[in-house]
């Protein structure tokens, strides 16, 4: 494997000194880029794009060719796991993801097994191998997965949901069945992320998109407990260096201390918490990633620069900050506004590093 030419992202996650604050963007390969839309049209469908390693590699590289970002993130989807479990994922136009065969009772849930990532999810591993080769040490590659709780929301509801009626009904009425499902999913995520690391991912992130929909007690029981299991089960070293693990619960600011206790290396922050407050609360136990509201990018480049500077100043001096948005970039953002943010992070970030 080629040596990394730019490792400031990995160094920041390990809270080691860097020359300036690194930045990458959630959903950086996405619909806001005209080149992505062109490749997506060529692929035929979103799933065809995900399942074609050459095209997944192509779109992973697009934002790096346009902006001087400090990390690449594998182009894929969190729902590849339930698809590999046989639930039949498809995307209805304008409606988002749906499953042909959701699992809504104990019998269906207990029939689920852990898919072999090099078999049913081989296309993901092939994409990781191809991207690493194509990157040739430019920047590190991030692998990722959805959290067990978040995957379960889609698997039980059959699609995205506003109130999670079926899943929360199960949580209260039949917690044993839900714990069984979450246990199988935790084992699957461990196998899936470890396979990504073996294929070349240099950092991994767990997206707990719907953890914020839970009460504090149920968050710890049904979401955090299983993320803890994942952190404990991951390969933490490859290519002679540490593989950092980032946990991100959207709407989870009240649990930052609990998340830091898992032994992860970094926490993703959404925009509902001030970054200076988050840093005070977790101290130097973990790095922080975030946390600009993606909607700021709708504003003028001048305003984008101003808001970017605020977050850099909020974190303050020292390493341990990876600049990012508080969630995925919106599809209608002007790429020139993204360029203003990336440039500002690198220029202004130098003030906060000796």
> Residues with catalytic annotation?
27, 31, 40, 77, 154
Rounded alpha-carbon distances, angstroms, from residue 18 to 275, 318, 320, 323: 19, 9, 9, 13
Q: Is 352 annotated as a binding residue?
A: no
Residue 28 marked as a ligand binder: yes
Is 154 labeled as ligand-binding? yes
Between β-strands 266-268 and 287-292, what pairing exists: parallel, antiparallel or unpaired?
A: parallel
Q: Calculate the alpha carbon distances from 102 to 150, 268, 335 in Å.
A: 14, 29, 37
**Residues in CB range of 196: below 8 A, 6 or more apart:** 74, 117, 124, 125, 128, 143, 204
Measured distance CA(5)–CA(60) in Å, rounded: 18
> Residue 238's CB: how many other CB atoms inside 10 A?
16
Residue 209 assigned as binding residue: yes
* Tokens (6 digits) for 63: 């934002």
**First-to-last C-alpha distance (Å) of the chain:** 30
Say whether 216 sits in a helix, a strand or coil. helix
Contact by Cβ (8 Å): 153, 168: no
User: How far apart, in whole angstroms, are the C-alpha atoms of residue 276 and residue 312?
Assistant: 10
Q: Is 31 annotated as a binding residue?
A: yes
Helix ranges (DSSP H) in 136-174: 148-157, 165-173
Is residue 327 a known part of a binding site? yes
Separation between Cα atoms, residue 120 and residue 191, nearest integer Å? 12
As a whole number of angstroms, the distance between CA 201 and CA 64 comes to 16
User: What stretch of H or E contains 241?
Assistant: strand 241-242
What are the binding residues? 27-31, 77, 154, 209, 327
Which residues participate in the annotated binding site for substrate? 27-31, 77, 154, 209, 327
């Amino acid at each position: 494997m080629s040596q990394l030419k730019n490792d400031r992202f990995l160094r920041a996650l390990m809270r080691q000194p860097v020359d300036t604050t690194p930045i990458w963007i959630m959903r950086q390969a996405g619909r806001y880029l005209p080149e992505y839309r062109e490749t997506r049209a060529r692929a035929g469908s979103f799933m065809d794009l995900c399942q074609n390693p050459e095209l997944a590699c192509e779109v992973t590289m697009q934002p790096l060719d346009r902006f001087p970002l400090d990390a690449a993130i594998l182009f894929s989807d969190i729902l590849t796991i339930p698809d590999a479990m046989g639930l039949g994922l498809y995307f209805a136009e304008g409606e988002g993801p749906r499953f042909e065969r959701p699992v809504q009772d104990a019998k269906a849930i207990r029939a689920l097994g852990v898919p072999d990532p090099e078999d049913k999810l081989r296309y993901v591993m092939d994409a990781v191998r191809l991207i690493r080769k194509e990157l040739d040490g430019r920047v590190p590659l991030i692998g990722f997965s959805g959290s067990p709780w978040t995957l379960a929301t889609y698997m039980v509801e059959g699609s995205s949901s506003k109130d999670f009626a079926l899943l929360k009904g199960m949580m209260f009425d039949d917690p044993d069945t839900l714990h069984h499902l979450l246990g199988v999913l935790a084992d699957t995520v461990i196998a899936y992320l470890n396979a990504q690391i073996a294929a070349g991912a240099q950092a991994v992130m767990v997206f707990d998109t719907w953890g914020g929909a839970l009460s504090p007690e149920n968050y710890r029981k049904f979401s955090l407990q299983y993320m803890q299991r994942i952190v404990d089960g991951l390969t933490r070293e490859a290519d002679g260096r540490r593989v950092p693990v980032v946990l991100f619960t959207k709407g989870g600011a009240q649990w930052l201390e609990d998340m830091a206790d898992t032994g992860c290396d970094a926490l993703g922050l959404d925009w509902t918490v001030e970054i200076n407050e988050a840093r005070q609360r977790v101290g130097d136990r973990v790095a922080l990633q975030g946390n600009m509201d993606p909607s700021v990018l709708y504003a003028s480049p001048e305003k984008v620069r101003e808001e970017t500077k605020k977050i850099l100043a909020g974190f303050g001096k020292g390493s341990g900050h990876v600049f990012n948005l508080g969630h995925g970039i919106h599809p209608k953002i002007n790429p020139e506004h993204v360029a203003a943010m990336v440039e500002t992070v690198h220029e202004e970030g130098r003030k906060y590093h000796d």
